[in-house]
Amino acid sequence: MQELLGRLRALDPTASQSLRVIACFDELMAGRVGTEGLLSAAAALAGRIVGLRRTPNAVAVRFDPKGNRLPPGLPSADALKTGGLVIWIERGAEMPGANDAIILERLALALQLHYDDGRPPAPRDLATLFDDTAELTARRDAATRRGLAAGARLRVLAAPLFALWQTHPAGPEDVIATDFGPVHAAIVPADSEVAASPLGIGIAVERDDLGLSFRTALVALRLADSSPDGISRAEDLGGLVETLAERPMTPRMDADEAAVSRLASLPWALSTLDAIVRATSVRDAARTVGVHHSTMTARIDTITEEFGFSPLDGWGRMRAAMALLRWRVRTSRVFELPAPASGALPVS
């Protein structure tokens, strides 16, 4: 799929986005995601409200791009009518988006297959499982319905709706609304091998703590755009990931995070700061980013001046690491559908 995307991006930039839309609905259909999940996914992909009316006298179902269910409304004038279904994207006076047609087409196909399947949809239990405010008995009942045994080690996967999956997750899945928009979430055995991009992999827990695994998966996902392969594992951060997961993102940056934001305007700063907090010495950090030791020393002086403390010593290194992680989580663009590439290169 990645190779095909690369070739399509070179030949026809819009086609690569369309392929991501197709892949999204294929994954959701494979996971037996129900009507509400499919509609919220379509709304997120379109960036606009999406609606469905199953019969002429039925009440319309509408979802916004954040996965929230809205009051009923009337179909748009250009609604797609197929197989007895009426589905639409609400753009008002705007021109249709480049992917509107393929989103409606794949949504219609997914809904028709869902209704023709004859099997009841998989229960929408994942939101309950991830909600620590829900009664423990309700969460355990939901876990039992989804085949999650007590004592089993599990972890949550979180991916944008347009993520590309090399292997389909072997476990319950659904589209879950979050503060950052809807995500494709799945629960898998802790030792499962998974491959998708971008992808956040939560910490391993038992079923009573799936909410924590979900929150750490979201943190990991928002760090995935700085990972070379697009896969970010919460456990790589140790205890830091739980601190990030349990600390709400405030509108205002603290002083350390603001320093990272200022440093980000320097082309070398983020890679250098990342190397500093990971390396065991200045020489190792210089080797990581491919610069001379003296150049690294000069860069550290600039970083130290901006922070007001040395990122090399004791708590200073921890403060710098946390500030860098918080800034990356805040500024992550992992939920943005990659724009069509311009200046396409020839395909060999």
Whether 192 contacts 162, CB under 8 Å: no
Beta carbons within 8 Å of 272's beta carbon, 6+ residues apart: 285, 289, 296, 299, 300, 303
User: Token match 């830091």: residue?
Assistant: 240
Q: Supply 90's token pair.
A: 């609400």
pTM, rounded to two decimals: 0.76
Sign of the dihedral defined by the CA atoms of residues 146, 157, 87, 125, in that order:
positive
Note down pLDDT in tens along the chain; length 348 residues. 344 344 434 434 455 677 778 878 887 887 778 888 899 889 988 889 999 998 888 889 999 988 889 999 888 888 999 888 999 999 877 888 888 888 999 899 888 888 876 666 666 789 999 999 999 999 999 999 999 999 999 999 999 888 888 887 888 988 888 888 888 899 999 999 888 889 999 999 999 999 999 999 999 999 998 888 899 999 999 999 999 999 878 889 999 999 999 999 999 999 999 999 999 999 999 999 999 999 999 999 999 999 999 999 889 999 999 999 999 999 998 887 665 444 443 333
Strands of 85-90's sheet, edge to edge? 69-70, 61-63, 49-53, 85-90, 80-82
Beta carbons within 8 Å of 338's beta carbon, 6+ residues apart: 16, 17, 20, 162
Residue 164: per-residue pLDDT? 80
Residue 121: per-residue pLDDT? 61
User: Token match 């509400």: residue?
Assistant: 36
Residue 24: per-residue pLDDT? 82
Residue 289: per-residue pLDDT? 94
Q: At residue 130, what is the residue type? A: F
Angle separating helix axes 293-307 and 282-289, nearest 10 degrees: 110
Sign of the dihedral defined by the CA atoms of residues 121, 174, 114, 62, in that order:
positive
Whether 88 contacts 108, CB under 8 Å: no
Domain boundaries, the chain: 2-116, 126-246, 255-331
2-9: Cβ within 8 A, 24+ apart: 2/164, 2/166, 2/197, 5/164, 7/347, 9/340, 9/341, 9/344
Radius of gyration of the chain (CA): 22
Q: Which residues of 282-292 are buried (b: 16+ CB within 10 A; e: fewer)?
A: beebbebbebe
